Amino acid sequence: MRITDMKCNRIINPLGFELDEPVLSWIVETEEAKLQKACRIVVAEDEGFSSIVFDSNEREELSGIGVPLPIELKPRTRYFWKVHVWTDAGEAKSDIAWFETAKLDEAWEAKWITPDTEDTSVHPIIRKNFNISKEVASARLYISGLGLYEAEVNGSRVSDEYFAPYCNDYNDWIQYQTFDVTKLLTQGENCLAALLGNGWYKGRFGFSGRQEGYYGDRFLLISELVIQYTDGTMEKICSDESFLSTSSHITKSNIYDGEAQDANKYIKGWSETSLSIADWQKVRVWDKDTGLLEARRSLPVIIKEKRKPVKVIHTPKGETVLDMGQNMVGFIQFKVQAPKGTRIWLQYGEEMQEGCFYRENLRTAKAEFEYVSDGEASEVRPYFTFYGFRYVKVEGLGEEINPEDFTGCVIYSDLERTGNIETSNPMINRLFLNALWGQKGNFLDVPTDCPQRDERMGWTGDAQMFSGTACFNMDCDAFFRKFLYDLAKEQANYNGVVPHTVPSFGFINTQDGEDFAAGNSSAWADVATIIPWNLYLYYGDKSALRKQFDSMKAYVDSIRRKDDGSRLWNSGFHFGDWVALDGKSEYDTFGGTPRDIIATAYYAYSSELVGKAAGVLGMKAMEEEYLQLSKEIKAAFTEEFVSPRGRLVADTQTSYILPLFMNLIPNELRGRVLEDLCRNLKENNYFLKTGFVGTPYLCRVLSENGHNDIAYKLLLNEEYPSWIYEIKLGATTIWERWNSLLPDGKFGELGMNSLNHYAYGSIVEWMYRNMCGINPTEEYPGFQKIKLKPYPDKRISQVKASLKTAAGSYESGWSYEEDGLHYNILIPFNAQAEFLVDETEEDKIIVNGIALKDSDLSYDKKESGLNILLAAGRYQIIRLDAK
């Protein structure tokens, strides 16, 4: 028995994060114990726990799902905490974990500084030499740089992060990072230095058309190095006029276009004290508001994996191309020793065409890396850009290159992998991996739409539709909370309206009418209500709703202000069922489902979520108000779009899916709507026609309404349009369009055609929830008690899911064996599951070798089957003769 996964705000040992409301969580791992009897949490300002600031004492109700700390935090302070749990089979004591605050409300003594030049294209190095004469106890660096920065102390990077200070609306707030640099300092001479490059703040990005940068055009740096000495004294090294600057070997950088480096301009030892800096120039103080600086919310973006090329391709055009074997996001790091002046040129692309390198689908993004050799052996990588790619064309090294000299660095936010699914069908396994790789590639600080072309924006619709899958695959609580903080900041600027992308980079205006950039597109803007609710559902922490409630409510209110009393949402611009296949033509991106149907459905759904959130937070009057609003919208939906006998005004798959999933119509009409959905599928030879809006719910609606066979039929289709069609054409991520590649392997429409676009990967949520049966519940959020209802199908002989939740690790699998259908289940400590099985005869259910009726398990017998209550433990349940 042991205590693991000790987290503060879902982060292990967070250093310098925004911790305005610290919540502690942990997992008890045991197969002996089933129930918690008591728990105690102790928090102190010292590792010896002599200065205790919080002691819960022994309490039965404390849960590892999350315990808020009612303490007033001090700036720049490390807090230590430990947990003691008593169970029905013994007790467990945790190791010591910690969290450390940043500056909090402490004023900045440092100043923003910038190179003393009017040439804002020169990529600078800014540094400061300083002396330490006493023994250092601890040292923290509080730092931010614009556009992007990498900092070093005495020749060593201060962290393994990339792309700090990350992506947000820099007009509203700027993140600073905190680094422990104690071990990097030495008595005597020291050096702090930072290399700066373009990024989201500065440089070409977004739809504004500004080449110099949407938020600013100057490189800026601010830093405070706070040194605590063993004698109890403190010293601060603050950025000011005493810092010096020079140009670096980076000649160009841009997220879309790539980076250029000239090794002949490289300053060896640029952050070391031995370097002569006599010719470095002064910096000047820049008048920028330090009040915009806030402690970080972004998880570190790091190299999470490394890959070697699987093949070197020599194309009919004479190109030399590396095949990485996987559509990935990051960059290539390579070893080189070439004659001085040699130009080495890497270009990145997603797909080959007719055996040759191809990248027309990147639009204007150059996605390249240029390196001019100085003749010395080097290991080279870009600093301030990333690429979405599988293939890399290499020029300048000759045709015969050594693939071992090249390493693919897979970069994304430091998210913990929590879920996995394996089946007996290799195509379904590949589909699962494709969705997972799409998440890896698009969860780089913000949940982007695509990582390769001149876009890479935080499209709200994609994030909303994939959020359920994302939270199954990875612990996304901290990641999404930062995104939602950005969202709320944007809304505050636009009276509750949600822009299409977050951050918006100006891609919004406040005009009324049908203007494309006006924001509040249904299904996209509903990110404001759906993701906070999902975070509560998946992680069980009410603070997700409390912090976002004003944002949730403001969004629904922004719709209600334009509601003329009809309770219909039939105004404004909407993306519709984006890239569905039932539009006026094959490439009609809006799909065939009337947009007022989609908008009104989401109006009702989001209003209901606001009401539910208010209920969770104890706001009774507001709960009643928004649930009543939702009820009125549902009634209006039925009156406007459904005949008295249940016929919808539009015969599209998404038109049927939304009212069924969102419970928009009276129960007596559900049967007709479901029949029409099945008829539509049959008339389309059981091929889906849905776009971004309908696809996430399609198979869930079918499985949960008596048509599980059709859900599997859609899943297992191998012809266009289907998920496996993509896999048969070599997809290793999810495509933006069902027809991104045509059956002959050629690209379809090029203007909007990404091969790494995760929205359709939302089928994986159905795989977790329905195929494997693991469902969180509103009554017991955080998976404390789940609804366990697998929907097996004999076309797949074996399935297994493992899922580490806030409550602990679940397993749910099934297989068809000679004697029937076997279920293999693991319920974690102090959790429960209501296991629903489609069998009404108790003597046909065997649990761990004992007939159900002879076991000590509680169960209910219903018309649809048996509902068995499972406590913590392992179970093999056999449904005899289920072939």
Domain 419-771, what architecture? Alpha/alpha barrel (1.50)
58 part of the active site: no
Is a pLDDT exceeding 90 seen at residue 512?
no
Residue tagged 């994302």 (tokens): 470
Confidence of residue 497 (pLDDT cuts 50, 70, 90): very high
Is a pLDDT exceeding 90 seen at residue 663?
yes
Say what the pLDDT of residue 622 is: 98
129-160 pLDDT tens trace: 999 999 999 999 999 999 999 999 999 999 99
Say what the pLDDT of residue 839 is: 87
Confidence of residue 514 (pLDDT cuts 50, 70, 90): low
* Identified catalytic residue from 370, 736, 765, 839: 736
Say what the pLDDT of residue 210 is: 82
Q: Which two tokens stand for residue 114?
A: 């910038």
Q: What is the CATH number of domain 302-413?
A: 2.60.120.260
Residue tagged 């009774």 (tokens): 620
Say what the pLDDT of residue 749 is: 86
Domain 2-100 and domain 419-771, same fold? Reply is: no
Q: What is the 3-state secondary structure (H, E, C) of 547-567?
A: HHHHHHHHHHHHHHCCCCCCC
Higher pLDDT, 422 or 863: 422
Is a pLDDT exceeding 90 seen at residue 864?
no
Query: Mean per-residue pLDDT for 717-733?
Result: 97
> Are residues 811 and 802 in contact, defined by beta-carbon separation less than 8 angstroms?
yes
Is a pLDDT exceeding 80 seen at residue 861?
yes
CA-based max dimension of the chain: 88
Q: Which two tokens stand for residue 258?
A: 């790539």
- Sorted by where each begins, the domain ranges of the chain are 2-100, 113-298, 302-413, 419-771, 782-880
Is a pLDDT exceeding 60 seen at residue 675?
yes
How many helices (DSSP H) and strands (DSSP E) are in the chain?
A: 13, 46
The CA-based dihedral angle spanning residues 269, 270, 271, 274, taken in that order and rounded to the nearest 10 degrees: 50
Cis peptide before 873 (omega within 30 of 0): no
The CA-based dihedral angle spanning residues 543, 549, 552, 554, taken in that order and rounded to the nearest 10 degrees: -150
Query: Mean per-residue pLDDT for 767-783?
Result: 98
The Cα–Cα gap between 653 and 593 comes to: 8
Confidence of residue 863 (pLDDT cuts 50, 70, 90): confident
Residue tagged 């990072």 (tokens): 177
Mean pLDDT of the chain: 96
Is a pLDDT exceeding 90 seen at residue 424?
yes
Say what the pLDDT of residue 688 is: 96
The Cα–Cα gap between 58 and 278 comes to: 63
The Cα–Cα gap between 241 and 244 comes to: 8
Choose the CATH number for 2-100 among 2.60.40.10, 3.30.830.10, 3.30.70.890, 2.40.70.10.
2.60.40.10
The Cα–Cα gap between 167 and 451 comes to: 14
Alpha-carbon distance values, 201 to 256, 291, 330 (Å): 13, 17, 20
Model-wide pTM > 0.95 = yes
839 part of the active site: no
Is a pLDDT exceeding 70 seen at residue 822?
yes
Confidence of residue 208 (pLDDT cuts 50, 70, 90): confident
Say what the pLDDT of residue 511 is: 57
- What letter represents residue 529's amino acid? T
Say what the pLDDT of residue 685 is: 96
> Are residues 609 and 601 in contact, defined by beta-carbon separation less than 8 angstroms?
no
Choose the CATH number for 113-298 among 2.102.10.10, 3.40.225.10, 2.60.120.260, 2.40.10.10.
2.60.120.260
Percent of the chain with pLDDT over 70: 99
314-348 pLDDT tens trace: 999 999 999 999 999 999 999 999 999 999 999 99
Residue tagged 């299409």 (tokens): 500
The CA-based dihedral angle spanning residues 876, 879, 880, 883, taken in that order and rounded to the nearest 10 degrees: -120
Is a pLDDT exceeding 70 seen at residue 599?
yes
274-311 pLDDT tens trace: 999 999 999 999 999 999 999 999 999 999 999 999 99
Question: Which of 387, 384, 379 is closest to 407 using CA atoms?
Answer: 379
Query: Mean per-residue pLDDT for 735-764?
Result: 94
Confidence of residue 507 (pLDDT cuts 50, 70, 90): confident
The Cα–Cα gap between 26 and 734 comes to: 33
Confidence of residue 510 (pLDDT cuts 50, 70, 90): low
Q: Give burial (CB, 10 Å; 0-12/13-18/19+) of 75.
A: exposed
What backbone torsions phi and psi does residue 434 show, to the nearest 5 degrees?
Answer: -60, -45
Domain 782-880 has CATH 3.40.228.10: no
* Identified catalytic residue from 350, 455, 765, 839: 455
Helix crossing, 595-616 with 543-560: angle to 10°? 140
- What letter represents residue 262's amino acid? D
The Cα–Cα gap between 586 and 378 comes to: 50
Say what the pLDDT of residue 34 is: 96
Cis peptide before 165 (omega within 30 of 0): yes
Helix (H, G, I), strand (E, B) or coil at 2: strand
The Cα–Cα gap between 573 and 595 comes to: 9
241-285 pLDDT tens trace: 999 999 999 999 999 999 999 999 999 999 999 999 999 999 999
